[in-house]
A and B are shown apart, each in its own frame.
Chain A
Amino acid sequence: MIKVLHSGIYTAVQDKGRVGYASLGVPQSGFMDVYSASIGNALLKNPRNTSVIEIAFGFAKFEFKSEQYICLTGADFSAKINQQTIDLNTVYRVNKDDVLSFGKRKYGVRTYLAVQGGIQTEEILQSRSSTLGINQVKLLKEDEVSVLKMEDFIENSNAKIKVNEAHFISEEVDCLPGPEYELLTNNQKKALQNEFSISEDNNRMGYRLNEKIENTLTTIITSAVLPGTVQLTPSGQLIVLMKDCQVTGGYPRVLQLTDYAVSKLSQKTTQDKIKFQIR
């Protein structure tokens, strides 16, 4: 068991998300930063899509009720086990009653707590990911989540890999033209190459950007949207859809981020700058 002592700002169980349920209107959800989540699972020798705890903006606090191998990846919020500072991308063995806490933010937004064997909450529609209308959305204080009994894995017990700093610092966001990109004028296309900053309205459903571009397009007949779709709203504001987005939408889809770019963007927050790199 892992007990939640402080729930932090937004702490939730995530795995690969729900795939194959779009015909019911079910959002995909899942790890926002697939790249970082998969590093933790890989170091613990878990299958790639194993469920982890996603912690946005640190602050959370957990108590381990049994000994366990864990690995933290993603954002650096000066994590500590008891009083001891620990490294990211490194496997640690924790003991019963050890407390994991976070401190000052160094970089990034979302930290992943992976445990050997994965978090064992109930699977709904083949996923443990937290989604509004499907299951419990956030972990709350006093919640306890089950984990499997610790298994030894000697040869990898101190596994670690170097943090890829560019993932957290680089402003470049790779994308391809979206389905309605060709309806844009040359001036609008050029405007998309400017630097944009992230507005306060950014969460697991989508990131709204501050700078507007001129919009002459009308809305489209409601059609599919995906995590990473960049919508151009009537006011000229851009929204980058993220993992909890709806399955359909009616705004022109001007760009589509790569999967990796969605991971990268999910480590950015209010006022951070981005530049679309259109392939």
Chain B
Amino acid sequence: MHNYKLTYKPFGERAILIEWPQEINEAILYDVLAFKKVLKSEAYQDIIQAYCSLTIVYKHPIKEFLKEVEGLKNTYKNRSTFINSDSKTWRIPVCYDSEFGIDLEEISKQTKLSKSEIVQLHTSPDYLVYFLGFLPGFLYLGGLEEKINMPRKAIPRILVPKGSVAIGGSQTGVYPQESAGGWNIIGQSPVNFFNPKSNTPCFVKAGDKVRFYSVDQTEFQLIKEEVLNGNYKPEYIE
């Protein structure tokens, strides 16, 4: 197992920021998750994980920062490799019809790719879920094909519909709720990514993968109804 050179910084009175080399890649993500897995203490209020960092928020101000860091360094040494045996690959239906994919036309112009080529490129990778952030249930996905990278819109939309599937720069994602947003919208998923009243409010977690597949309007409506009735079970490949 590769030991990265981590840096530990105080982050206010009661948080410690742990940073890996600042780059986005799978190996670093798996090491971040491996460390997170062994971080357990009554003293912690929460742990915020991102691409190449962990932030431990403590319940109370940290009295001895250096001593706390020594403890964390030992914990890091004693971690075990992240085993992605309980990581799943989720199959997520998306309707790429122009009714939903309101920016497809523009992307097609910019990239000189046909709409169906864009859909083909968007549905081919297994995207790695790096972490959740921005909105409850919003997945930060890695693995978008370079050919369909698309700069964010200069003026964000005030209202992006829930379920919108969008591209922002080299990132792609699904808006889990109605929100303002500057990404280019290419379709809509009928799947609900966040249910605060469920025991598992979001079925996807960091380290999982997501594969989009194209559905037509009829299938979209059928799945949407299942979701509304509470009968929809997200599909996955182990």
Residues of A that sit less than 8 Å from B by CB: 19-28, 124-125, 132-135, 176, 178-179, 220-224, 226, 228-229, 246-248, 253, 256-259
Residue among B15, B24, B50, B131 with the highest chain A CB neighbour number at 10 A: B50
Residue B76 is within 8 A (CB to CB) of chain A in the complex? no
Total contacts A-B at CB 8 Å: 115
Residue B136 is within 8 A (CB to CB) of chain A in the complex? yes
The reply to whether B48 and A247 contact each other, CB–CB distance below 8 Å, is: yes
The reply to whether B12 and A257 contact each other, CB–CB distance below 8 Å, is: yes
A77 to chain B: closest CB distance in Å? 30
The reply to whether A133 and B17 contact each other, CB–CB distance below 8 Å, is: no
Taken together as a complex, chains A and B put the C-alpha atoms of A124 and B134 apart, in Å, by: 19
The reply to whether A133 and B136 contact each other, CB–CB distance below 8 Å, is: yes
Taken together as a complex, chains A and B put the C-alpha atoms of A226 and B10 apart, in Å, by: 13
Q: A24-B137, A246-B133, A248-B133 are in contact. Are A223 and B50 (CB under 8 A)?
A: yes
Partner of B134, one of A135, A176, A248: A248
Residue B202 is within 8 A (CB to CB) of chain A in the complex? yes
Taken together as a complex, chains A and B put the C-alpha atoms of A222 and B141 apart, in Å, by: 12
16 new A-B contacts, CB < 8 A, other than A26-B136, A221-B23, A224-B50, are: A21-B136, A23-B47, A24-B194, A25-B202, A28-B46, A124-B196, A133-B137, A134-B136, A178-B11, A179-B11, A221-B51, A224-B53, A226-B48, A228-B12, A246-B133, A259-B13
Contacts of A25 in B (CB 8 A): 132-138, 202
Residue B55 is within 8 A (CB to CB) of chain A in the complex? yes
Contact with A along B5-41 (1 / 0, CB 8 A): 0000111111101010011100000000000000000
The reply to whether B132 and A24 contact each other, CB–CB distance below 8 Å, is: yes
The reply to whether B131 and A135 contact each other, CB–CB distance below 8 Å, is: no
Contacts of A133 in B (CB 8 A): 135-137, 176-177, 194, 196
The reply to whether A19 and B136 contact each other, CB–CB distance below 8 Å, is: no
Contacts of B17 in A (CB 8 A): 179, 223-224
Partner of B55, one of A26, A124, A125, A224: A224
Show 9 residue pairs from A and B whose CB-CB distance is below 8 angstroms, ordered by the A residue.
A22-B57, A125-B196, A223-B17, A224-B53, A226-B48, A229-B12, A246-B134, A253-B11, A256-B13
A122 to chain B: closest CB distance in Å? 9
Residue B63 is within 8 A (CB to CB) of chain A in the complex? no
Taken together as a complex, chains A and B put the C-alpha atoms of A259 and B136 apart, in Å, by: 23
CB nearest to A262 among chain B residues:
B12
Contacts of B177 in A (CB 8 A): 132-133
The reply to whether A176 and B51 contact each other, CB–CB distance below 8 Å, is: no
Taken together as a complex, chains A and B put the C-alpha atoms of A247 and B202 apart, in Å, by: 16
Contacts of A21 in B (CB 8 A): 46, 136, 201
The reply to whether B46 and A19 contact each other, CB–CB distance below 8 Å, is: yes
B43 to chain A: closest CB distance in Å? 13
Taken together as a complex, chains A and B put the C-alpha atoms of A79 and B138 apart, in Å, by: 41
Taken together as a complex, chains A and B put the C-alpha atoms of A248 and B12 apart, in Å, by: 15
Across the A-B interface, the 8 shortest Cβ-Cβ residue pairs: A224-B55, A256-B12, A248-B133, A224-B48, A25-B132, A133-B177, A22-B48, A223-B50
Taken together as a complex, chains A and B put the C-alpha atoms of A27 and B133 apart, in Å, by: 9
Residue B205 is within 8 A (CB to CB) of chain A in the complex? yes
B133 to chain A: closest CB distance in Å? 4
The reply to whether A248 and B9 contact each other, CB–CB distance below 8 Å, is: no
Taken together as a complex, chains A and B put the C-alpha atoms of A246 and B51 apart, in Å, by: 15
B42 to chain A: closest CB distance in Å? 12
CB nearest to B47 among chain A residues:
A22
Interface residues of B in 84-120 (CB under 8 A from A): none
CB nearest to B201 among chain A residues:
A24
Residue B221 is within 8 A (CB to CB) of chain A in the complex? no
The reply to whether A258 and B133 contact each other, CB–CB distance below 8 Å, is: no
B231 to chain A: closest CB distance in Å? 22
